[in-house]
Structure 1
């Protein structure tokens, strides 16, 4: 399993972000290989983003190379490119 942590600064309001997130729920539910996505906010920086759990590195890479990530700058009015961290999952408490 792989974990993707993505965060970014946006010009969108909290209400606009909530609407964008809710509008994308079905799209994310249908992504091949995506096990779970958490929508997150970093209080100290004001950044927002997601924590994603993927079945495989290939599924994660397909997402990064796909249309959702490519549309982030325009859709979310990013102040700069997203910060991306990829983590290998070694063990899980629950399966």
Structure 2
């Protein structure tokens, strides 16, 4: 499992960002390999997303898609930071383990 975290500043007002999140969310339901997406608003005023992928290959296919390429334009992104991490251990779910004490 792979986690992708995106954080960005936008020229759009808060209400418009929230509206765009809601309007575009159904498009993400059809993306192969995307297990979950969390839409974020940071206390700093930035926005972002946490994507939970089944594999790096699924993430890379999405990043090459028209939907991914449209993000900066649609949200009028002024600056962004992206990071990717492999899940090493999860508290619950398929990557969880039994804790020994």
Q: TM (normalized to structure 2)? A: 0.85
Cα RMSD of the aligned pairs, angstroms, is 1.1
Within 2, Cα distance between the matches of 1:73 and 1:29? 20
Does the residue aligned with 1:79 lie in a helix, a strand or coil? strand
* Residue in structure 2 matched with residue 49 of structure 1 by the alignment: 48
CA-CA distance at 1:43 after TM superposition: 1.1
* Residue in structure 1 matched with residue 75 of structure 2 by the alignment: 76
Within 1, Cα distance between the matches of 2:82 and 2:74? 18
CA-CA distance at 1:91 after TM superposition: 1.3
Alignment length (residue pairs) = 93
| The structure with more radius of gyration | 2
Question: Would you identify which runs of 4 or more consecutive aligned residues in structure 1 move more than 4 Å?
Answer: none
Structure with greater proportional strand content: 2
Q: Tell me, which stretches of 5 or more residues in structure 1 are unaligned? A: none
Identify the structure with bigger relative contact order (alpha carbons < 8 Å, sequence gap 6+): 1
The more displaced of 64-73 and 8-17 is 64-73
Alignment of 1:20-59 (within 5 A): 20-44=20-44, 46-59=45-58
Within 2, Cα distance between the matches of 1:63 and 1:43? 28
Once the two structures are superposed, residues 32-84 of structure 1 have per-residue CA deviations (whole angstroms, 9 ceiling, x without a partner) of 0011111112213x21010010001100111122112211221111113x311
